[in-house]
Amino acid sequence: MRTLYLLRHAKSSWKNDELADFERPLAGRGRKASETIGRFLKEKEITFDLVLCSPAVRARETTDLVLRSAKLRADVRYDERIYEATPGRLIDVISQIENEYKAVVLVGHNPGMAELLQVVTGQTEEFPTATLAKIVFKNSKWTEVATRKGTLEWVVRPRGLDKS
């Protein structure tokens, strides 16, 4: 069995319109949302072995804040293929994960993340910034993700968690 978490980067700042899209940092709201997701992971005792993250500044900052807030340590890899990726490219990235990793978080961007969720589960979900989804695959190898459907177990959004 394999567990894939999809995490869309948190809300980015548009204050400096001279920055390239790749260089945009998180907005204050995005920082808060990342911390909320981290606290959720800690409260639910959710752990993972590997984080595959887009190297874009907002994705890196989201990853750092989530891990820090969750008090988690994980192997973190930055993969340029995740930035502006299609679902097919994301599946290629996932298919290359070593089988020693059982639970993996993919931190990326829309529309690719929402489309990937639909491709691998057959379900459509809204995927606003800082949304986290858990997908379980009943296969023993990451290479099988492309050919088997996963089961969407849950989706959490910071706004829903902030109400507690």
CA pair distance 91, 153, nearest whole angstrom: 19
Contact 51, 67 (CB under 8 A): yes
pLDDT for 47 beyond 90: yes
CATH class of 2-162: alpha beta
pLDDT in tens, 115-160: 999 999 999 999 999 999 999 999 889 999 887 789 999 999 998 7
**CB-based burial, 119-129: b 16+ in 10 Å, e otherwise:** bbbeeebebeb
pTM of the predicted structure, to 2 decimals: 0.95
Amino acid identity of 115?
E
Q: Give mean pLDDT, residues 55-73.
A: 97
pLDDT at residue 96 above 60?
yes
Task: Tell me: pLDDT of 52 over 60.
Answer: yes
The pLDDT mean for the chain works out to 93
> Is the pLDDT score of 163 beyond 70?
no
The pLDDT score that the predictor gives to residue 149 is 86
> What CA–CA distances, in Å, run from 1 to 10, 72, 95, 114?
28, 22, 14, 22
Is 157 within 8 Å of 128 (Cβ atoms)? yes
The domain segmentation of the chain, as residue ranges, is: 2-162
